[in-house]
Amino acid sequence: MSPEKPGSIALYRRLVSYLKPTWHYFAISILGFIVYAATQPWLASIMKDIEETLNGGPDVNYLYVPLLALGIVLVRGTGEFVGNFFMALVARGLVHRLRTQSFDSMLLLPTRFFEDSSSGQLIYKVTALVENVTAAVTRALTIIIREGATSIALLGYMIWSNWKLTLIFLATAPLIALVVRWTSIRMRKLSKQMQQSRGVITHIAAESINGYKEIKAFEAQASESQRFRDASLKNMQQEVKRSLTSEAATPIVQFIYAVALSILLGIALYPSMNNGSMGELMAYVAAAALMPKSLRQLTTVNSVIQQGLAAAEDIFALLDEKPEHDPGQRELQTTRGDIVIQNLSFQYPGQDKHVLDNISLHIPAGKTVAIVGRSGSGKTTLAKLVARFYDYQQGNILIDGSDVREFTLKSYRRQISIVSQQVTLFNGTIGENIAFGLYQDASHDDILRAAKDAYVSEFLEQQPKGLDTLVGEDGVNLSGGQRQRVAIARALLKNAPILILDEATSALDNESESMIQAALEKVMRHRTTIVIAHRLSTIENADLIVVMDEGRIIESGSHQQLLANGGHYARLHSRQFADNGDIA
């Protein structure tokens, strides 16, 4: 209620700007609350009517007061209903807008953002935190308007009726403001902490749910339970502190007002003080006694506002997060797929180790380049840079002779199909997973062809529902190899001139692998392909094989050349074939 920082006003103004699309509902709601508020002093003034009726002699209308009271209550109820219902319309619209907006802006954020933030915190923000924000503008505004108008109406009536007595109440105002201010500052701080700890709870819960297999296998029930208990306990302590602050404020304010009220009663009961009519005084006291209810609601709502502002800061920070860097202006229409990498060096943001160190590589249009090398040598990172998941610091990547950064991300990525090392499937059918995103309206025939080419149809035949078989969350109903084949089919359906396969065949048995191999060779023929593989048997036919180590290219050539060289590749090769038992 009393914004203590200049930032709060800006914050609140930004929040209130979200009400614009539904301002007409908001206006109707306010009208309802004004009607409701106006009935309050009217109810108090009935005291005067009662007194006049009692002293009025035989010709007064005894039905007048009861009917009037009933009428006022009816008007008040209608006003309250209209006010509350239309405010609910505003509130739900606001939650919907904030939620979809923060979700949409999240989808555009750079890769780095997702690696740096906890998914639990993000989920909490998009689902639950928006409710807090909404409460600050709708429920709080409802109460501020309804009870604020009520207080003003009551105060106006009191001033009009006896302004001298009313001065007693006005004298308490600075004291009350002080209490409210103190609680505001404290509430904001505590709400921030509480938000954080609620996010941690969501995070731990999500992690444990996803990792149930590891938890069972490594008997981590006790340690996970403890981790969750600690987080929950911390949250509980913060919530208790917050309640303490918010619940203490109301009785303190009430007490300050009660002191003024009892002074008033003392004065009023003193015979020489009241020179007006008895009825007028009673009406005045009734109005003064109605005031604490509004005052209580106003102080309580302050905590809702502070909590909402704390939440809004977080939500707006998410909304203001810079989307993926996309400086390119040109649309890349079609590409031959000629890729040149020049002196490329890269380190992950915030780390000082070079993951890629001065890489130069030419991947000619329509050719297949295989990248091999030890785990952690930077193969996946190189593929991610080609797909522009990160901005690189040094060097260039050219496509058909132009710097890739000249093109818009969208048009550039349309030219690339990726099967990544960690395949993600979405909860839906196999068909939906193959025809994903932009390609969701692909024809049934195209989907079937992709499924056939990636040997998905081979296991589809055993499924009575075929393409309509549900894969479960992240494809849990499928085996590792089946998941990969679905991912390959998805990439094939995209039919892009550049194909990146990161360990695409690692989860396949020998037979499926050779089938996939045949299929891939077919699709690779017309495409520029980057294959990252651990199993060397899959890449013998590549046009060029590049060996990486610690972010550098240490060898390159064809399979035959590299074997003849007798270097790293030759050693890797002989070791693998010895392991496989292929060489007896």
Ligand X SMILES: Nc1ncnc2c1ncn2[C@@H]1O[C@H](COP(=O)(O)OP(=O)(O)OP(=O)(O)O)[C@@H](O)[C@H]1O
C-beta of 250: minimal distance to Mg ion in Å? 58
C-beta of 379: minimal distance to Mg ion in Å? 5
Name which of Mg ion, ligand X, none residue 275 binds, using a CB cut-off of 5 to 8 Å depending on partner kind.
none
Interaction of residue 331 with ligand X, rule CB under 6 A: no
| CB-based contacts of 410, cutoff 8 Å, min separation 6 | 326
C-beta of 537: minimal distance to ligand X in Å? 16
**Whole-angstrom Cα distance, residue 577 to residue 583?**
6
The length of the chain in residues reads 584
**Whole-angstrom Cα distance, residue 121 to residue 59?**
72
Q: Which amino acid is at 134?
A: T
Interaction of residue 381 with ligand X, rule CB under 6 A: yes
**Whole-angstrom Cα distance, residue 12 to residue 330?**
40
Site for ligand X in 396-435 (CB under 6 A): 421
Site for ligand X in 260-319 (CB under 6 A): none
Of residues 355 and 520, the one with the C-beta less far from ligand X: 355
Q: Which of 378, 431, 481, 497 touches ligand X (CB under 6 A)?
A: 378
Exposed e or buried b for every residue in 295-322, given b needs 16+ CB within 10 A?
A: bbbbbbbbbbbbbbbbbbbbbbebeeee
Of residues 377 and 417, the one with the C-beta less far from ligand X: 377
C-beta of 369: minimal distance to ligand X in Å? 15
DSSP state of 374: -
Of residues 298 and 383, the one with the C-beta less far from ligand X: 383
CA 529 to chain centre: 36
Interaction of residue 114 with ligand X, rule CB under 6 A: no
**Whole-angstrom Cα distance, residue 53 to residue 399?**
94
Interaction of residue 355 with ligand X, rule CB under 6 A: yes
Interaction of residue 23 with ligand X, rule CB under 6 A: no
Q: Which amino acid is at 98?
A: L
Of residues 266 and 376, the one with the C-beta less far from ligand X: 376
Exposed e or buried b for every residue in 56-81, given b needs 16+ CB within 10 A?
A: eeeeeeeeebeeeeeebeeebeebbe
Footprint of Mg ion (CB under 5 A): 380, 421
C-beta of 375: minimal distance to ligand X in Å? 3
C-beta of 503: minimal distance to Mg ion in Å? 6
Contact of 439 with 494, CB cutoff 8 Å: yes
C-beta of 360: minimal distance to ligand X in Å? 17
Q: Which of 4, 104, 115, 331 touches ligand X (CB under 6 A)?
A: 115
C-beta of 425: minimal distance to ligand X in Å? 20
Of residues 125 and 384, the one with the C-beta less far from Mg ion: 384
C-beta of 381: minimal distance to Mg ion in Å? 8
Q: Which of 351, 422, 443, 462 touches ligand X (CB under 6 A)?
A: 351
Q: Which of 527, 569, 563 is nearest to 548 (CA)?
A: 569
**Whole-angstrom Cα distance, residue 226 to residue 212?**
15
Of residues 32 and 378, the one with the C-beta less far from ligand X: 378
Interaction of residue 377 with ligand X, rule CB under 6 A: yes
For 77, the enclosing helix (H) or strand (E) is helix 64-107
With CB under 6 A as the contact rule, which of the stretches 101-109, 152-160, 348-356, 488-496 interacts with ligand X? 348-356
Q: Which of 131, 111, 135 is nearest to 321 (CA)?
A: 111
Binding residues for ligand X, rule CB under 6 A, total 13
Q: Which of 22, 29, 303, 380 touches ligand X (CB under 6 A)?
A: 380
- The label of the residue with tokens 């590049």 reads 546
DSSP state of 126: I
Name which of ligand X, Mg ion, none residue 378 binds, using a CB cut-off of 5 to 8 Å depending on partner kind.
ligand X
Name which of Mg ion, ligand X, none residue 202 binds, using a CB cut-off of 5 to 8 Å depending on partner kind.
none
Q: Which amino acid is at 40?
A: Q
Contact of 541 with 521, CB cutoff 8 Å: yes
Scanning 475-558, the segments in alpha helix (DSSP H) are 480-494, 510-524
Name which of ligand X, Mg ion, none residue 188 binds, using a CB cut-off of 5 to 8 Å depending on partner kind.
none
Of residues 363 and 547, the one with the C-beta less far from ligand X: 547
Contacts 24+ apart (CB under 8 A), 518-525: 519/453, 519/454, 519/455, 519/488, 520/488, 522/453, 523/453, 523/492, 523/499, 524/368, 524/499, 525/366
Name which of ligand X, Mg ion, none residue 351 binds, using a CB cut-off of 5 to 8 Å depending on partner kind.
ligand X
Of residues 469 and 506, the one with the C-beta less far from ligand X: 506
Interaction of residue 166 with ligand X, rule CB under 6 A: no
Q: Which of 7, 71, 376, 566 touches ligand X (CB under 6 A)?
A: 376
Q: Which of 333, 334, 375, 422 touches ligand X (CB under 6 A)?
A: 375
**Whole-angstrom Cα distance, residue 139 to residue 399?**
55
Name which of ligand X, Mg ion, none residue 462 binds, using a CB cut-off of 5 to 8 Å depending on partner kind.
none
C-beta of 29: minimal distance to Mg ion in Å? 56
Find residue 342's DSSP bridge partners: 396
The residue whose Cβ lies closest to Mg ion is: 380
Interaction of residue 184 with ligand X, rule CB under 6 A: no
Q: Within 13 A of 513's CA, how many CA atoms are on the CB side? A: 16
Contact residues toward ligand X (CB under 6 A) are 115, 348, 351, 355, 373, 375-381, 421
